[in-house]
Structure 1
Amino acid sequence: MKKHPIIWTNVILFSLTFLVAAIAVPYYALTVGFTAAEIIATILCMGYCGISITAGYHRLWAHKTYDAHPVLQWIFAIGGAFALQNSAIHWSSDHRVHHRHVDNNEKDPYSAGRGFWYSHIGWMLRDYQGESYFDYSNVRDLQKNPILAFQHKHYLVLVLLTNIGIPLLLGLLVGNIWGMLLSVGVLRLVLSHHFTFFINSLAHIWGKQTYTDENSARDNGFLAFLTYGEGYHNYHHIFEYDYRNGIRWWQFDPTKWLIKTCSYLKLTGNLRTVPEDRIAQAVAKMQLKRAKDKARHLPNAEQLLALLEQEYQLLVAKIQDYYQLKKELLQQKRNALVDQYHASEFMQRYQELKLHLQQQQNHWQRLTAAFS
């Protein structure tokens, strides 16, 4: 088999930083000890890097799920250089290719189909992509952004200023340069790298496929905790233009919370979301598929498959009716076009449809659960 050339810069960078984090950091912690200031600074800087990737590189630029004020874009651009994951233009180009060709071992730059090691870090250690690695034809929109053009042009300078300058400055402020260099400089970088890399690897291996099984992406709440909400990856791969990854109120998605909070401060706008009926139908479709897979192996398979299909169509019809009326109701309220009498009539119909949908959903859950 053809062996692709080793990218020695990446091999040396990842190897040295990992060895320092795995050996020198614990040794320093045991012999000297890290102060509260160094621990807090490491957590804050790691959060800044992570959010810059998730809210900036990923949801803002790669997928354009919302608009951001230039001030916020500068913050994310600098934080992205601090995270040392390439320029936003380069990162977004790779990521758009990944979504277009997900799980295609030849075209997906970090295809999970080639194994954990490859999708986690291996794809960056050898020159698997050749000249296509620098093909930015799919991010011409981002190249027109002066902030991103500046970051791309001066990326190396920004990397040095942030990854060396910030730890040095913090070390001078607290009077412990070596402690800050090890914690904020190295440990923060290694953890930030691998937590992000988990989305390319573990999030395509470990978790639930609630919305689709047409690709390997999974939803995983634990990974969401490590990656500021990016762990709900199955949802993201079917609805990539939604600014949210965790769509339920109880799902851990600080990136979503930040974007939404910034909208109240006029720092973000045009937040894109997927209609609720499409989400509900995606869930029902997956439940149908799993139930059919089990039903095919039962003695009365033909009748069971027909029953499942019939119940599924009834559920989809009720979902569409309910959410269509809900949309109309919200529009009427927004435009104040309904008088009190018709508003009451409208609400009564809405509540009836809501009740019927809940009943149908409960029935559907019991039916599909019988095949689990």
Structure 2
Amino acid sequence: MPLIPNRRHALQAGLLSTLAWLSGSAATLAQADTTTPGWPSKTVRIVVGFPGGSSPDLVARTLAEPLSKALGQAVIIENRVGAAGNIAAQVVAQATDQHTLGLMINGNMTVARLLNPKLGYDPLKDLAPISLIATAPLVLTTLPQANGQSAKAILEQARQAGSQWSYGSPGVGTVAHIGMEALKARAKLEAVHVPYPGNPQVITGMIGGQLQLALLPPGLAMAQVKAGKLQAVAVTSSTRSTLVPEVPSLSEAGVPGFNLEIWDALAGPASLPAPIVARLSALVSEISRSPEVRAKLYQQGWQVVGSSSEGLANRIQADLKSLGEVVQRQGIKTE
């Protein structure tokens, strides 16, 4: 059957749009390739500060293959777990081989030094921002025994439980920890913090009954919710998130104005030459926003950004202010 004019025009417009995107991507990558002759000359290593199966690990592995193809060298993932990701961040900060990068989270690139003045690296001085890859709100989760209760009712139950309830995080100083402390102050909760090496271990602790609450990335949280092992209470964004539209915001749960996001970013050591930073920024931005990778990251619970290095630097400054206020107000320390 012949296409009607409107549908034909729509298909033509879509084809032209796709060709333009491909052409622009090819031009960007070709231009980036001319800025760093001879680099990379060996395998590129992306260091992740959290265990396999964690959100940062999944993001790093999603990027590794297309980045390897674009660079013409192998890209491997190395998990260096501990200290809320700061051990891995220090490895990156101290690297001198020009082939070591890091998949970072908010805390590693913002408030890490506020949390521990003796930290072995300074996020603002020792790390080179490359690209803000993706962002997401966190999902406040609890045990499925609370099914059928409203978000307000669950928060009231947590309030009444006082310090008999515990919450888990993937480490002291992570955004999940800082965010929960902010929520405790706003909602008058007293749940006790229990740090773990990563979110997979937090989920195990919740399912095993050792924890009653946790702020988890959407991709990890909703997989357990759909399996009936956890219940989603609310998201930390100011309004409902397109990632989990069925979950109310904390504002709807009686905590107005609460707004918190986690993010993943690629960074290198501050010693990384500017042309390499520029090339990587262009590549990661294009790869993150490509339809295939965007779809994979969305399935993992991420909204793609794919920013420039300057865009990441601006986000670091904004988060340093907002997260730093919570760290100082709550007296959070990792020493």
Asked which structure has the greater RCO (Cα within 8 Å, sep 6+), the reply is 2
- Taking structure 2 as the reference length, what is the TM-score of the superposition? 0.24
Larger Rg: 1
In terms of fraction of residues, the more strand-rich structure is 2
In terms of fraction of residues, the more helix-rich structure is 1
